[in-house]
Structure 1
Amino acid sequence: MTAGSWVPDAAAFLSSDLSSSFGGVEFQIAASQVFASSGIAVSWTDGPPLYAVEIVVARSACRFELVQWGAQTSQVAGIVSERRTMSPHAEAKILSLLADALGTHELDAEHVHPTPPLLTEPGDRVEMGTVPEFLDLLFERMTFCRECPAPTSGGNVLCPCIKLRSQR
């Protein structure tokens, strides 16, 4: 097997694991091989948070290496990049949550607010922030899905799920 020739197989393996772990989420997976450099790019809109996908990617990479080479080599996980984007629908839902949490109907992106309770953990010190900062923090913590996609093995991930209804 030539250097990097396994990348398309690893991408297919990863695609299968992500689809089975996160039902209903569409992942775009692109394997690339340019000269001596190989990579797998994973992207999705809304869906699970980045940390949940990273758990599945790490688990999948280990399983692929064991099946392919009989040893864990840490080659696959090192070439995978993940990118999550937010749809306008998800942004509107989060902004509505923020407006309620901040007790306002008009959100000003420049105004500094105290951190709303939904973004604080017990023991956190209360800080100030802007709406775009809060929006990013909430998006990182939330899952947007049709069914709760927390991985069933390879890690215990809590799913702070906001369910989206299908647009029928």
Structure 2
Amino acid sequence: MTDGKIWEAMLKLRVFTPWMVLKELNPPSFLKQYVKEKIRSLINAQVKAGILAILNDNPPVFGFPGESVEKIMRECGICRKLFIPVQDSDQHCSDECEREYRKRFLRKMRKEKGMEERRRYEKWEEELIWETLSKHGCKSAILQELARKLNRHPQAIKSKFKKMKRQRRAVA
């Protein structure tokens, strides 16, 4: 990969981050690290020479003087705030928005599959689980019977029982 090809990609983009230039060049996987280093080296040389300007510090965005950072900004899918992506895959401005997206996505998937929303255990359910499993243990047949009575998955009941045991040990 020559400096000319890298420079050509930067001229095409006008405002960019190093990953954008790498994506534009699309080198074979065995050359990616080498090309990354060449891109960084060329950008640093051009910034020192005053040909390129640092348009943003965190994440680093470079461009030609007079260019605007707004060209590469994206709108967050959750809060609609504009942000500069750190990676090509960034669709959300913060970790909080990413978590909110995942929460909404999972809720939608559960609804499409006809699954119920997660629900808390009632006091009587917890007592039944504790009494039954502490006497008989987590045998498959017993878990299946409890699952049928409580309309829950056997693994969820087993998990709840383990959590209850940990909580009781911590209290004691």
TM-score, normalised on structure 1? 0.26
Structure (1/2) with the larger helix percentage: 2
Q: Is the radius of gyration larger for structure 1 or structure 2?
A: 2
TM-score, normalised on structure 2? 0.26
Bigger RCO of structures 1 and 2 (CA < 8 A, at least 6 apart) = 1
